[in-house]
């Protein structure tokens, strides 16, 4: 069957509410670990993960950090005005995340608006305390961008002595709310600020955690080092689209969201040293690594045609590109060498680009040799990704997990998949 003709109803399974983990376990690495190895299923405890991995292999983590992306305003600036939620999706001005977070006084983001019908026009205002300073924040709605709106934020310190304005990052830390997944059906709690971040999170930008990484502790990372597992990090900022349900009957009619990635030159060199193969921690690392393979192909095409500009966005991976006929497909090591040559030519230490890749049955994996991932929602694109990795045998895994009391979704248990 053509991949685009896959029916999403074939990826449904019953998920009772009580099997969704509403909170994490007290100890991250005490979660259960399902081990799928060439069709056979067993279980263990996550802290024993290093014992299942071959020495000398490369493991890739997503070091993104979840931002406190929910901001609340009252219409008219009063306590009784309509409550408007502004949910940050991705920066508009400046477009680079880290540059946006250090802005003082103004910036713009593409946002989802909660209670939009109550905010037809006008500027929202709110007075807040940031680092002991009284700050007035305004939000002004701009043009529609797909399902989101561009929102201009401005803020100023109101203290008499003035002083330097706070950064947008400081503003979010003071009044933003961490966006936990909607399927948890509960309010964000103070504990989520710690438990919904991986211990190795560094680069702010996600509105959802790369949850496969939530099981890792400093001790497990040390055990991986002792086991001679090479570790590298990439950055993919997880967008709200990760929760977007597939509403069409066939996946060919589903539009994947775009996510932004950043990869160091050293990581590409490490991939080459490991023959273009790696163990991926989480589906975000999977999508990043598999996108890198196709970015290498694009880099080769652009350089051979003399059309490369050094703008990483020219390497954007469109949703269906991996399924198109493109002549020869070199091995993953060779593709990484093309990408490294592109970065060297344009003196890039970090590649900034984006991907819209959809990985579904029919997809051929190039870089990912093993995958660590949680248990995903029925009829989701993440379940399609897992199915493609285990050659359609996902029901064996999910039936076992359901029968053996595994906990599901973001705060749930984990699996190691070895096809």
Q: Is 151 left (phi over 0), alpha (psi -120 to 50) or beta?
A: beta
Single out the residue in 150, 177, 204 at which a domain terminates: 177
Q: Check whether residue 38 and residue 134 sit in a common domain.
A: no
Is 183 part of any domain?
no
Which tokens belong to 11? 């990826």
Q: Check whether residue 224 and residue 331 sit in a common domain.
A: yes
- At 250 the three-state DSSP class reads strand
Q: Give the model's pLDDT for residue 52.
A: 97
Q: Check whether residue 326 and residue 397 sit in a common domain.
A: yes
Q: Check whether residue 148 and residue 43 sit in a common domain.
A: no
Is 187 part of any domain?
no
Q: Give the model's pLDDT for residue 391.
A: 96
Q: Check whether residue 251 and residue 216 sit in a common domain.
A: yes
Number of domains observed in the structure of the chain = 2
d(CA 398, CA 387) in angstroms, rounded, equals 11
Q: Check whether residue 219 and residue 348 sit in a common domain.
A: yes
Supply the CATH number for residue 251's domain. Answer: 3.40.1780.10
d(CA 10, CA 242) in angstroms, rounded, equals 20
Q: Check whether residue 343 and residue 202 sit in a common domain.
A: yes
Q: Check whether residue 81 and residue 208 sit in a common domain.
A: no
Distance between start and end Cα atoms, the chain? 21
Instruction: Write out residues in the chain with pLDDT < 50, as ranges.
Output: none
Q: Check whether residue 151 and residue 248 sit in a common domain.
A: no
User: Which domain does 372 fall in, by range?
Assistant: 3-65+192-418
Q: Give the model's pLDDT for residue 161.
A: 61
């Amino acid at each position: 069957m053509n991949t685009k003709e896959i029916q999403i109803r074939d990826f449904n399974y019953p998920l009772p509410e009580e099997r969704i983990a509403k909170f994490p376990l007290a100890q991250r690495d005490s979660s259960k670990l399902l081990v799928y190895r060439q069709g056979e299923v067993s279980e263990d405890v996550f802290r024993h993960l290093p014992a299942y991995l071959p020495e000398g292999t490369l493991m890739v983590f997503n070091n993104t950090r979840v931002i406190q992306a929910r901001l609340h305003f009252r219409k008219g600036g009063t306590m009784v005005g309509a409550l408007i939620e502004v949910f940050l999706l991705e920066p508009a001005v400046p477009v680079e995340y880290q540059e946006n977070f250090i802005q003082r006084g103004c910036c713009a983001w593409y946002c989802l608006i909660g209670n939009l019908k109550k905010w037809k026009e006008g500027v929202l205002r709110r007075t807040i305390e940031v680092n002991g300073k009284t700050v007035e924040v305004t939000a002004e709605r701009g043009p529609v961008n797909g399902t989101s709106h561009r929102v201009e934020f401005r803020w100023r310190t109101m203290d008499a002595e003035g002083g330097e304005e706070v950064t947008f990052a400081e503003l979010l830390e003071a009044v933003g709310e961490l966006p936990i997944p909607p399927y948890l059906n509960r309010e964000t709690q103070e504990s989520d600020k710690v438990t919904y971040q991986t211990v190795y999170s560094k680069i702010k930008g996600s509105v959802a955690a790369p949850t496969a990484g939530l099981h890792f502790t400093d001790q497990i990372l040390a055990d991986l080092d002792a086991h001679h597992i090479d570790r590298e990090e990439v950055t993919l900022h997880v967008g709200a689209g990760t929760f977007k349900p597939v509403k069409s009957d066939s996946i060919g009619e589903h539009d994947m969201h775009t996510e932004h990635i950043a990869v160091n030159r050293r990581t590409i060199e490490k991939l080459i040293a490991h023959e273009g193969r790696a163990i991926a921690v989480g589906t975000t690392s999977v999508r990043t690594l598999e996108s890198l393979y196709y970015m290498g192909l694009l880099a080769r095409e652009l350089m051979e045609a003399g059309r490369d500009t050094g703008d990483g966005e020219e390497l954007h991976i469109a949703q269906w590109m991996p399924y198109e006929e493109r002549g020869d497909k070199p091995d993953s090591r060779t593709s990484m060498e093309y990408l490294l040559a592109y970065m060297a030519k344009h003196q890039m230490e970090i590649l900034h680009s984006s991907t819209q890749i959809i990985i579904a049955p029919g997809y051929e994996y190039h870089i990912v040799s093993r995958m660590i991932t949680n248990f995903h929602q029925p009829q989701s694109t993440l379940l399609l990704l897992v199915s493609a990795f285990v050659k359609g045998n996902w029901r064996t895994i999910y039936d076992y997990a359901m029968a053996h009391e595994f906990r599901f979704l973001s705060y749930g248990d984990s699996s190691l998949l070895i096809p």
